[in-house]
Structure 1
Amino acid sequence: MQLTSEELKTYDLQGYLLLPNCFAPGEVEVMRAEASALCLQDFAGKILKRDGKTVRMIHGAHLENKVFHRLVRHPKLVKPIMQLLGDSAVYIHRCSLNFKPAFEDTMWSWHQDSSYFCKNDGMPTDQAAIAIVFLDEVNEFNGPTLVMPGSHKEGLINPITEEEESLAIEEKQYLKSRRTQYMLSRPTVTKLVEKYGIVAPKGPAGSVLLFHPSCVHGSAANIMSPFNRTIAVIAYNSVENIPVAVENPRPEYVASRDYRPIEPLSEDVLLQAV
């Protein structure tokens, strides 16, 4: 699978590209079943919500499961990613499963993934790329990823400045209640939205959202809908952008230090026996 020149141009301008129906229903069913199976297992990368029962994320899914080990090497992902990164060889920086069950309040504040990649993991530049695989239909009701198209052109944005820290009490309460590392504050979000707007890429299960890590994004809770929203999020990095050593690196299952380039597998790899 190769991206067209028009698709490459769209990604360059917007910072994202939606590819509907990349994976067939049978392939999606295999991935969804394996995601459910992983939720029943215990390993370091499984993150629960405060109730101690509901799974919020699974870091390192490709390290724990053969199907996701194959997914991250699928040619429908690897070949387009290599194009986006200038036909460079790539390795897998991370892979996670993100869960938003129906009637559930998980949300993700506005942020850039490149802040984590560069500041926490030591990437020299933000020239990585992300593939988000929809394991459920993503619609306007179940907490789709919200994107500010073109915001990747800003480069790394300071999450909270000293000026913003000294704002009114209500702003501090907002930060306290919603704070995640590298979250953007309300004034910053407002300015960016005025400049770039907001879109919510949606599509059927099996669709793929290719995504620049500096594109500002977040997602609302799925608390009102009866529809699950499960996605696989895979970050690829060029072997020409290998991270430098950092203090207190994130665990291997969150940010890989295996920089060996990967090779695309066969088209039918997801339907092979587990």
Structure 2
Amino acid sequence: MSTTVRPDLYPTRIIGESVPQPRVDPTVWGNSLGPLSSEQLDRYESGGYLVLDDLLSGQEVETYLAELQRLGEDPVLRASERVILEPESDQVRSVFEVEKVSELFADLLRSPRLTDIARQVLDSEVYIHQSRVNYKPGFGGAPFHWHSDFETWHSEDGMRRPRAFSVSISLTENYPFNGPLMVMPGTHKSFVPTVGETPEDYHVESLRVASPSVGSPSQQHLTHMAEKHGIEQITGPAGSAVMFDSNLLHGSNGNLSPFARSNIFIVYNSVENTLEAPFAALKPRPQHLSNREFPSAEAE
């Protein structure tokens, strides 16, 4: 009796030596017209990220900041699994699946100013794979270690290909000293497998600790990538945004300043890239981390 082996173009969570491999998929999946110019698409394809200035107005920033505060202070929500706390305090680190708990955020995440960009880049209809708000409070917002999101989504969620990208919308000023996003431009074109088996219910650890035990490239690989590609900080005013490819290596330092670094974070995935069984985990992560409601998503 023969057993069909599912093809895995990006094997990871391996035993032994990790060998980076060239990406086999495009970054920009089509050439359709849309909100982004040819120059912007070229920059995104080359570097793996693109800054979008003035995505939100000043009034919108104030409105969404108030909503961010409301969610963080909601005792029922705070007691749910959607809320992740900082590793060394009871301050809120992230609230996931915000389109389910906030009509304001749901309208923004599904607005044409974002979804039209996603359709243009991914060359298909799209849906929200994951959403959250990040608080990164002053005097203690913990770092996010270097990683490729796709490595996690592939191994733990069952995303076949890196036909997805994230948008991080700033609700506060991104200073060099309050833990802004850092990226290694161009690293999205190489897939770096990580070493180690995925522990059961690993998301409980990985979303809260500063240095997860599995899922980040080795220091040797990170050093090589940084020497080859460099590191850039994404700073800028509230209301600006950065979109970045699902396989781009990124992270952020902790926030020792008094100034929070808060943002809205959305992941758009192609409806032609919906999730399968995880490629390197026993079971998928929970729904609030890994959306599997595909029929309603395609209607967007």
2:222 matches 1:189 = yes
SS at match of 1:136: coil
SS at match of 1:195: helix
In the other structure, the counterpart of 1:69 is 106
Task: Give 1:179 shift.
Answer: 2.8
- Give the partner amino acid of 1:123: M
C-alpha contact 1:109 1:184 (8 A) present in aligned 2: no
Residue number among 175, 179, 203 corresponding to 2:236 in the alignment: 203
Task: Give 1:186 shift.
Answer: 1.4
In the other structure, the counterpart of 1:110 is 146
- Alpha-carbon distance between aligned partners in 1 of 2:261 and 2:58, rounded to the nearest angstrom: 16
The structure-2 alpha-carbon separation of the partners of 1:50 and 1:199, relative to structure 1 and needing over 3 Å to count, comes to closer
- Alpha-carbon distance between aligned partners in 2 of 1:177 and 1:56, rounded to the nearest angstrom: 11
SS at match of 2:159: coil
Task: Give 1:177 shift.
Answer: 7.8
Task: Give 1:117 shift.
Answer: 1.2
2:25 matches 1:25 = no
Runs of 4 or more off by more than 6 Å in structure 1?
none
In the other structure, the counterpart of 1:60 is 97
In the other structure, the counterpart of 2:133 is 97
2:262 matches 1:230 = yes
Residue number among 140, 162, 174 corresponding to 1:126 in the alignment: 162
- Alpha-carbon distance between aligned partners in 2 of 1:48 and 1:158, rounded to the nearest angstrom: 28
- Give the partner amino acid of 1:76: R
In the other structure, the counterpart of 1:258 is 293
C-alpha contact 1:63 1:253 (8 A) present in aligned 2: no
In the other structure, the counterpart of 1:170 is none
Please give the TM-score of this superposition, normalised by the length of structure 1. 0.85
SS at match of 2:117: helix
Counting only pairs closer than 5 Å after superposition, residues 137-216 of structure 1 correspond to structure 2 as 137-155=173-191, 157-160=192-195, 178-216=211-249
C-alpha contact 1:90 1:262 (8 A) present in aligned 2: no
The structure-2 alpha-carbon separation of the partners of 1:58 and 1:180, relative to structure 1 and needing over 3 Å to count, comes to farther
Which 5+ residue runs of structure 1 have no aligned equivalent?
163-175, 264-274
SS at match of 1:44: coil
Q: Which moved more, 1:99-108 or 1:13-22?
A: 99-108
- Give the partner amino acid of 1:236: Y
Please give the TM-score of this superposition, normalised by the length of structure 2. 0.78
C-alpha contact 2:143 2:210 (8 A) present in aligned 1: no
Residue number among 36, 39, 44 corresponding to 1:6 in the alignment: 39
The structure-2 alpha-carbon separation of the partners of 1:8 and 1:161, relative to structure 1 and needing over 3 Å to count, comes to same
C-alpha contact 2:142 2:210 (8 A) present in aligned 1: no
Which 5+ residue runs of structure 2 have no aligned equivalent?
1-33, 198-208
- Give the partner amino acid of 1:58: V
The structure-2 alpha-carbon separation of the partners of 1:22 and 1:180, relative to structure 1 and needing over 3 Å to count, comes to farther
Question: CA RMSD of the aligned region, Å?
Answer: 1.8
Calculate percent identity across the aligned residue pairs: 36
- Alpha-carbon distance between aligned partners in 2 of 1:187 and 1:39, rounded to the nearest angstrom: 38
- Alpha-carbon distance between aligned partners in 2 of 1:215 and 1:177, rounded to the nearest angstrom: 19
- Alpha-carbon distance between aligned partners in 1 of 2:37 and 2:224, rounded to the nearest angstrom: 33
